[in-house]
Amino acid sequence: MLLAACAVLALDLVLLAIGVGGLRALLHHARALALFATWLAAAPLLAILRPAGRVRASDAVAARPDAPVMLVLVLIPLLTPMLAALAERARLWPLPGGAALRWGGVALAAAGYALRIAAMVQLGRRFAPVAAVQRDHALETGGLYAIVRHPGYLGAWLCELGIVLAFGSAAALVLPALMAPAIAARVAGEERLLEEHFGSEFRGWRARSCPGSAPAPGIRGRRVLRPPPGERGAHKPQ
């Protein structure tokens, strides 16, 4: 997985260089270098976390593949740095705010990335790209999940928005705007899976909270939701 992480970093570097106008231009673009430094720092941790997050078929009680949504959620973040940088070079609808807004975007991207990684760390082996109900796993509602119901998705979207702001083109705001409904579709699919397997108990929990909000009092901490008779498992929101 370390080799795969290095390959992804190399691709990120190439796309970013294309966006800013070449490697020489990249070396003189402080905000682009800061974004890449963030990805570089996170790469070893992601290489460790991703293998641990694989869900074995024998561990999954049920899964809900969503290939089209996943494709959108992979391609948009992959292409955003290049497209946002191209929009900056073309001076397409520059955003007001100057350097403060753009460096604020870098900070927002780093914070969103950190939130995404922290959610992955908290889920551990329950983290997986495919929404799945797994055997003998608790529904995670402690830590970050006591504050935000889907911190991983929130972090990914904040990172996306931060990258766009870092390059300062309003034209690129269409990218986080397109990513938002894909995330909403992913969340809806995960929650349908929960409802199918945990029934009224999950519906009661959902009624007291909403995506991106803090669970209501009495739902803090890690809790196992009991599935219908004959089925066992739990699901990890992201």
- Average pLDDT of span 159-184: 97
Model confidence, pTM: 0.84
User: For residue 58, what pLDDT is reported?
Assistant: 47
Quick: pLDDT tens for 182-191: 999 998 888 7
- Average pLDDT of span 223-233: 42
Checking if the pLDDT of 232 tops 50, the result is no
Which DSSP state fits 29?
A: -
Give me the percent of the chain exceeding a pLDDT of 70. 70
Tell which CATH architecture fits domain 2-235: Up-down Bundle (1.20)
Pure H helices in the chain? 2-20, 23-27, 30-52, 67-89, 98-123, 151-167, 174-207
- Average pLDDT of span 32-44: 93
User: For residue 130, what pLDDT is reported?
Assistant: 72
- Average pLDDT of span 38-60: 68
* Residue 210: HSE in the Cβ half-sphere, 13 Å Cα cutoff: 1
83 in Cβ contact with 19 (< 8 Å): yes
User: For residue 221, what pLDDT is reported?
Assistant: 38
Distance of CA 168 to the CA centre of its chain: 22
Q: What is the DSSP string of 66-98?
A: -HHHHHHHHHHHHHHHHHHHHHHHTT-SBPTTH
Which DSSP state fits 237?
A: -
* Confidence class for position 3, pLDDT limits 50, 70, 90: confident
Quick: pLDDT tens for 121-137: 888 777 777 776 666 65
Mean pLDDT taken over the chain: 81
Q: Order of strands, edge to edge, in the sheet holding 131-134?
A: 60-64, 131-134, 234-235
Q: What per-residue string of b and e applies to 134-171 under the rule 16 or more CB within 10 Å gives b?
A: beebebbbbbbbeebbbbbbbbbbbbbbbbbbbbbbeb
For 63-77, 119-133, 174-188, 215-229, which range has the lowest pLDDT when averaged over its residues?
215-229
- Average pLDDT of span 42-71: 68
Quick: pLDDT tens for 92-106: 999 999 999 999 999
Q: Where are the domains of the chain?
A: 2-235
Give me the percent of the chain exceeding a pLDDT of 90. 49
